[in-house]
Structure 1
Amino acid sequence: METPAHGGVVEVAAVAADSAARLREAVPHTAAAASDHRLLDAVARVAELGRACQLAMGVLAAEVATRSARVDGIDTLATRNGQKDAAGLLQLAGRVSRDAARRYLAYGEAIVDRDALTGAPLPPRWERVSEAAFAGEVDAEAVVPVLRHLEEVRLSADSDLLDAAESGMMRIASQGTPEYTGQQMRVWKEALDPDGARPREEKQRRSRFFRIGRENSEGMTPVRGLLTPEAGAHLRTALSTFTNPRVSRVAFPTEAEQQKIDELEAALPDGVGTYDLDPRTRDQKLHDILDGLITSGHRAAASGGDNRRTMTQLIATIGLDELRCGDGVAWVDGMSEPLGPATTERIRCDQGFRTLLLGDEGEALWLGKKREMFTRKQKLAIAARDGGCAWPGCDAPAEWCEVHHVTYRRNGGTTDIDNGILLCGPHHHVLHAQDWDIRMSEGVPYLRPPAYLHRGDGQIRLGQNRVREVRRLRRQRRRANSGSAKGADPPDTG
């Protein structure tokens, strides 16, 4: 004969089976026909059902853990079912991930009623958490991280403050997302255990690491690591500094910025949009920003603080014939994956090349001087003229940029200022890898999109000539002050 507790579990199983069957029957193949109000209402109700399911799983998991506790010489519920612990048994029986099984175990052990060694009933380990869980206000995903922090300070914190923290965190968890709940718990943790910050800081310092993995089969290099809060903040700040504000956040441009945006959009040929100019995803932009930070720092270290001195530490090796025809790959020391033709051509375009004569056995016989390389003074002049990456809408500073030969050397182009333009690495690569074309006209560069993007001879003026911009703004200010344009504008020689 089943006890009431067993009868309760039987009822839970029956309700769960009936609810699952009815919900499956009710779920349509698409929710496209629902109004906004009904759609969001359904989301809230199904989430409420999910919290109830997690509550039931937590209670059941706690009992599975009790019956799977290891006792010498006695088979447990887990071992009788071929599993070594409660998490493995839950994973098998519930067809859930191991992380989910552990989350249910931690949730259940915090909210279920307990028995003392004498058999007397005891309240749940965390009463406020249990009350919120049985009221359907919280779920395991939000509660388990809170429980972990509360357990860390349970013995050292003041009991009244601990109770206040538990109540406050359940109120926050019932109203916000698990992410917001976790942020607020960190604030409570500092108040509960002010002496724990120093040892926690030392633990973070000991745990910090950064690791560069081996290249994978596709030639990509994986990285992984753990940054201290300070290092993480530095990296986020550096990345956000150079992230395009039109992509990273909602921003209201100033009148001057909006005018530049309008001029850029008006100058685009028919059929070309701003996305065509820079189709990178946000994650790809962050990758390129990190590469720019490393590159500019490398330049500074190599030149004693002069960011525009060409680096010589990275050596790419390619046959001279392949280099001249522009379709060969180059090999870099320490990397098994070669650089593709577009990347090789881009490096040659900015940094030139040296001729190395090898013997029959591969011995170095003669090393020539660098050729086709823009000098330091040329780069300074081009940087002063362009101000940064000349690509439309790009905010990359001059320190990150390379100099591109507008007319390639193999096509008769010269390495001088009138044939050079400043481009960041990603846009320099786009120019070499795709069918974009740049032409110089009276010292001014113009960008022509590929034929598949537009029809006709539409061109986009490039560069950020600051002298010309200053003169243009002065003329606008004079017009505004005079109330009308009087006489002819001075010639634009910038």
Structure 2
Amino acid sequence: MTSALSESLAALRADVADLDVDGLAPDELRALTDVLGALRRSVDASLAAASGEIARQSRRELGKDGFARRQGYSSPGTLLSATTGVTTGEAARLMRVGEAIAPRMSLVGERLPAKHPHVAEALRSGALGLAAAEAIVGMLDRVAVRAGTAACDEMESILVAQAPGLTSDELRRLLLDAEMRLDPDGAEDREQDRRDRRMLAWRTERDGSVSFTGRADPETAAPIVALLDGMVTQRMRANEHEPDEARRDRRTRLQMQIDILADVARHALGCTAIPTRPIATMVVRMDYDTFRAALDEQNGDASGGGMATIDGIEQPVTAKAVRRMAVDAQIIPCVLGGKSEILDLGRRERLFTPKQKLAISIRDEGCAFCGAPPGHAVVHHIEWWSRGGRTDLDNGILLCVACHHRIHDDGWDIRIEGAGVDAVPWFIPPPWLDHTRTPRRGGPTRYRVAC
């Protein structure tokens, strides 16, 4: 087996040595990236399997007779780091995944399936990468005791089908959704744990600057994120419409954020009244049953289940957290599409109204193309206004400024499947980018569990 792999490696090295990527057409460059990605996933899968076996043969109870010790290394992680060039952290990841996908033996010597058979199959087929496999395995192992074997096995099958093609951020959001579905009873415990670990510390550095380090639970972070994101986005949009180069704000987004915090602190030190005109909106999304559960518990009735999400915060929160937030916030109930609000304006108005944007954001939850928060996005006419498109809900989609320009300038098409909050946007690339014009899924369904 080793000799055959060595021959394949020699041939591959010869092919790669002749590889010339300069000036490749977009289609060719994409195809090359797909091939190299598949190759890397296959190598990682084999390396993970070997790493799991190295860990098994180096387990602590074997002492000096363990594989790593006999090879002259203090641990299997240091052996892998030295022989493969990965970091010790990456070696630990390889071993965790390798142990999760390795076949098992019963007490009577019977061969059993892997602990995570769907992940194992997806790795072997090259559909799943190492990082995604580790993330899925880690989440399932955390909730296995409370969720049960059958539920975790079903969710594992769903996740390995949805994970390919997702970015690391999208995968993280998918796993947060999956964890909430698998272990809803543990949501409040996890919420309290995150709250107990909230903190903010600062120290003076050698050069005299002050460094801040902090962590916040979603409930605490939500108003901070809403304020900073809203004010920074407002200033960056003002930059876009400022014709005088000398008057443009030259600060980076990070510089704006710390300056805004300082402005808020200075205001609070001398403020004798609470401001009544908000410049940013914190949007909490929940279905009607969750909303009723929050109100019923507030009124002393039996507690209900359900989760809610907050724009700009990836971690879902419980109805209890929503109720606590409502104590300190002015809650204005609103039913979109009621008789007092005209949501479809046809050709009478070119710009979408704030209420229309809010209605569309319930479906898209931010830029439907890249996932940027709703505050960074504007409503784009799917059928351009200049070509007769109407300013109606079914002709609107949320896009950030960068993606808005990309759609216009590069010739992408957009198709919406379904209706209401369950509708799914699809983006069709231009022929010069993908001659097959294979549609790419947009919106939050990319990182929601499909069940």
Alignment CA distance shift 1:246-1:35 (3 Å):
farther
Alignment CA distance shift 1:279-1:298 (3 Å):
same
TM-score, normalised via structure 1 length: 0.51
How many angstroms apart in 2 are the aligned matches of 1:222 and 1:173?
Answer: 37
2:219 paired residue number: 230
How many angstroms apart in 2 are the aligned matches of 1:10 and 1:53?
Answer: 16
1:305 paired residue number: 273
1:92 paired residue number: 82
DSSP-derived class of the 1:156 partner: helix
More off after superposition, 124-133 vs 111-120: 111-120
How many angstroms apart in 1 are the aligned matches of 2:48 and 2:143?
Answer: 23
Alignment CA distance shift 1:205-1:136 (3 Å):
same
1:461 paired residue number: none
DSSP-derived class of the 1:212 partner: strand
TM-score, normalised via structure 2 length: 0.56
Alignment CA distance shift 1:221-1:74 (3 Å):
same
2:190 paired residue number: 200
How many angstroms apart in 1 are the aligned matches of 2:101 and 2:18?
Answer: 32
DSSP-derived class of the 1:225 partner: strand
Match of 2:8 among 3, 15, 19: 15
How many angstroms apart in 2 are the aligned matches of 1:120 and 1:163?
Answer: 21
How many angstroms apart in 2 are the aligned matches of 1:104 and 1:184?
Answer: 22
Match of 1:284 among 252, 255, 279: 255
Alignment CA distance shift 1:142-1:136 (3 Å):
same
2:201 paired residue number: 211
Measured after TM superposition, the shift of residue 215 of structure 1 is 1.3
DSSP-derived class of the 1:200 partner: helix
**Aligned AA (1:296):** H
DSSP-derived class of the 1:38 partner: helix
Within 5 Å, give how 1:143-158 maps onto structure 2. 143-158=133-148
1:467 paired residue number: none
**Aligned AA (2:8):** V
How many angstroms apart in 1 are the aligned matches of 2:273 and 2:10?
Answer: 70
2:399 paired residue number: none
**Bigger relative CO (Cα 8 Å, ≥ 6 apart):** 2
Alignment CA distance shift 1:60-1:196 (3 Å):
same
Measured after TM superposition, the shift of residue 119 of structure 1 is 2.9
DSSP-derived class of the 2:201 partner: strand
**Aligned AA (1:15):** S
**Aligned AA (1:155):** V
Alignment CA distance shift 1:176-1:122 (3 Å):
same
How many angstroms apart in 2 are the aligned matches of 1:71 and 1:14?
Answer: 37
Alignment CA distance shift 1:132-1:287 (3 Å):
same
How many angstroms apart in 2 are the aligned matches of 1:83 and 1:299?
Answer: 62
Q: Is the 8 A contact 1:113 1:123 kept in 2?
A: yes
Match of 1:186 among 176, 179, 183: 176
Measured after TM superposition, the shift of residue 26 of structure 1 is 3.0
Alignment CA distance shift 1:82-1:235 (3 Å):
farther
1:113 paired residue number: 103
Measured after TM superposition, the shift of residue 17 of structure 1 is 5.2
How many angstroms apart in 1 are the aligned matches of 2:113 and 2:147?
Answer: 20
Alignment CA distance shift 1:237-1:50 (3 Å):
same
Larger Rg: 1
Measured after TM superposition, the shift of residue 137 of structure 1 is 0.4
2:17 paired residue number: 25
Alignment CA distance shift 1:243-1:17 (3 Å):
same
Structure 2 unaligned spans of 5+: 276-451
Deviations 1:35-92 (A, max 9, x none): 1211222122211111112111101110110111012654312223443322222112
**Aligned AA (1:157):** A
2:162 paired residue number: 172
**Aligned AA (2:14):** R
Taking only aligned residues, the RMSD between alpha carbons, in angstroms, comes to 2.6
Measured after TM superposition, the shift of residue 127 of structure 1 is 0.8
How many angstroms apart in 2 are the aligned matches of 1:142 and 1:89?
Answer: 24
DSSP-derived class of the 1:222 partner: strand
Q: Is the 8 A contact 1:55 1:133 kept in 2?
A: yes
How many angstroms apart in 2 are the aligned matches of 1:178 and 1:306?
Answer: 40
Measured after TM superposition, the shift of residue 179 of structure 1 is 2.0
Identity %: 24
Measured after TM superposition, the shift of residue 23 of structure 1 is 5.1
**Aligned AA (2:130):** A
1:295 partnered with 2:266: yes
**Aligned AA (1:130):** A
DSSP-derived class of the 2:147 partner: coil
Deviations 1:13-34 (A, max 9, x none): 5534543x23540344xx4411
Q: Is the 8 A contact 1:299 1:306 kept in 2?
A: no
**Aligned AA (1:26):** D
1:62 partnered with 2:55: no
**Aligned AA (1:62):** G
**Aligned AA (1:25):** A
1:243 paired residue number: 232
2:288 paired residue number: none
2:40 paired residue number: 50
Measured after TM superposition, the shift of residue 177 of structure 1 is 2.0
Match of 2:210 among 205, 221, 240: 221
**Aligned AA (2:216):** L
How many angstroms apart in 1 are the aligned matches of 2:11 and 2:115?
Answer: 32
DSSP-derived class of the 2:261 partner: helix
Deviations 1:292-327 (A, max 9, x none): 222222332xxx3389xxxxxxxxxxxxxxxxxxxx
How many angstroms apart in 1 are the aligned matches of 2:161 and 2:169?
Answer: 14
Structure 1 unaligned spans of 5+: 1-6, 308-494
1:138 partnered with 2:128: yes
